[in-house]
Amino acid sequence: MNIAIVGATGNVGRKTLEVLEKKELPFDNLYLVASSKSEGQKIIFKGKDHEVLNLENFDFSKVKIAFFAAGKKISEKFAEKAAKHCLVIDNSSFFRMDPDVPLIVPQVNSSHLDQIKKNIIANPNCSTAQLVIACKPLHDLFVIKRIVVSTYQSVSGGGKAPMDELIEQTKLVLDGKNVKSKNFTKQIAFNAIPHIDVFADDGYTKEELKMSKETKKNFR
Amino acid sequence: MPISVSHSESVNIQFEKSFSLEKVRSALDNFEGCKVIDERIDGGYSTPLEAEGKDETFISRIREDKTIKNGLNLWIVSDNLLRGAALNAVEIAETLIKNNFYGK
């Protein structure tokens, strides 16, 4: 069995490699796939060099499982094509609310995995995943009626660029210099921003709606 | 938040049934992927920095919400790149392999 990581050079892709280094997942070959920008780059996995391949012409029939960790647009464009040849485990939000795509936290609802219709399985939003894993054992015992949650999210959810910017902004503030935000709507260093993702008409943001809808789907 | 890694959540839950804090604590601590860190002393709770790089989701500040019926308050912290992404994805793959891909 072979596996592929799409978006292998990004934040989540590199983290997936780290997890695979530690786990004993039985696979033969690992293919690292990314945009043409990263093609040819070398990444070391378990002491061996792996060359990054171009997503545009990657043959998904070579693998049994493909992890997609390259964001919504890439999943929208490539996941269904890939799913004709292999099982796709998608980190993006694109398929999460698709009724034919199970939304899985294994400890919570692995029973939904026998309903794979499109060869695609979705990973919940990061805030949803940690909420449902803690709520599941309590829901089983006491039946949850209502949850009110406030999240305090780190910048890494936005990728590597916001992580670097947090450090840069912090240095600028400490040096008494002016800060101009690039990846944030306001200064992030020494501050708190009450907003993630785009606003909907009712004043909520998509991040908030995702959490509410995904939690219900996960517990269904 | 000006934090590199890990998301924190302040959570208020209302249950249909009554509960005891001991049962909440043991149910959480015995659930795979969860760990209770809740000592009710200075520093007896988990923070984003400590959750970074860890597979577990940490639950702290477990206390009753006495303003509503069957109410509970929690503080939940987890590495967003692991439980919220990479680890969860790999665990899905492990589950598929263990179950022979459910015949797929």
Angle B77-B81-B86 from CA coordinates, rounded to 5°: 125
- Asked if the structure places residue B1 within a domain, the reply is no
- Average pLDDT on B20-47 reads 98
Q: Domain spans of chain A?
A: 3-94, 155-195
Amino acid type, A186:
K
Report in angstroms the alpha-carbon separations of B31 from A11, A105, B44.
Answer: 28, 13, 20
pLDDT at B102: 85
pLDDT at A24: 86
Name chain A contacts of B28, Cβ cutoff 8 Å: 134, 137-138
Domain count, chain B: 1
Report the C-alpha gap between A81 and A64 in whole angstroms: 14
Q: What is the CATH number of the domain that holds B28?
A: 3.30.360.10
The secondary structure element, H or E, covering residue B91 is helix B87-98
Q: Residue A35: how many CB atoms within 10 A of its CB?
A: 16
Q: Do A156 and B34 touch (CB under 8 A)?
A: no
Q: Which of B96, B97, B98, B102 to mutate to test the interface with A (most CBs of A within 10 A)?
A: B96
Report the C-alpha gap between B26 and A189 in whole angstroms: 38
Nearest to A67 by CA among A14, A128, A132: A14
With 90 as the cut, is the pLDDT of residue A69 above it?
yes
Q: Do B88 and A145 touch (CB under 8 A)?
A: no
pLDDT at A81: 97
Report the C-alpha gap between B89 and A126 in whole angstroms: 11
Asked if residue A186 lies in contact with residue A193, where contact means CB atoms within 8 angstroms, the answer is yes
State both tokens at A90.
């998608």
Question: What proportion of chain A, given as a percentage, has pLDDT over 90?
Answer: 96
Report the C-alpha gap between B94 and B85 in whole angstroms: 14
pLDDT at B103: 79
pLDDT at B1: 98
Over residues A172-219, the pLDDT tens digits come to 999 999 999 999 999 999 999 999 999 999 999 999 999 999 999 999
- Average pLDDT on A128-156 reads 98
Over residues B57-94, the pLDDT tens digits come to 999 999 999 999 999 999 999 999 999 999 999 999 99
Report the C-alpha gap between B13 and B36 in whole angstroms: 17
Q: What is the ipTM, given to two decimal places? A: 0.97
Asked if residue A99 lies in contact with residue A40, where contact means CB atoms within 8 angstroms, the answer is no
State both tokens at A142.
């006491």
State both tokens at A25.
């997942």
Asked if residue A34 lies in contact with residue A51, where contact means CB atoms within 8 angstroms, the answer is no
- Average pLDDT on B25-42 reads 98
Please report which confidence band the pLDDT of residue A148 belongs to, taking 50, 70 and 90 as the band edges.
very high
The residues, any chain, with a CB within 8 Å of residue A179's CB and separated by 6 or more, are: A169, A172, A173, A187, A189
Q: Which domain holds residue B82?
A: 7-103
Q: Do A166 and B2 touch (CB under 8 A)?
A: yes
Nearest-CA distance B41 → chain A (Å) = 22
pLDDT at A73: 96
From chain A residues 86-115, the ones with a CB under 8 A of any chain B CB are: 87, 89, 91, 104-107, 110, 113-114
Q: Do B30 and A170 touch (CB under 8 A)?
A: no
Nearest-CA distance A214 → chain B (Å) = 13
Over residues A8-62, the pLDDT tens digits come to 999 899 999 999 999 989 999 999 999 999 999 999 999 999 999 999 999 999 9
Max CA distance (Å), chain A: 57
Nearest-CA distance B22 → chain A (Å) = 12
pLDDT at B43: 98
Report in angstroms the alpha-carbon separations of A68 from A76, A84, A124.
Answer: 11, 14, 13
Strands (E), chain B: 7-15, 34-36, 57-65, 71-78
* DSSP code of residue A92: S
Paired residues of A120 in beta bridges = A88
Structurally, at CATH architecture level, domain A3-94 sits in: 3-Layer(aba) Sandwich (3.40)
Q: Do B92 and A156 touch (CB under 8 A)?
A: no
Asked if residue A164 lies in contact with residue B44, where contact means CB atoms within 8 angstroms, the answer is no
Paired residues of B45 in beta bridges = B38
pLDDT at A115: 85
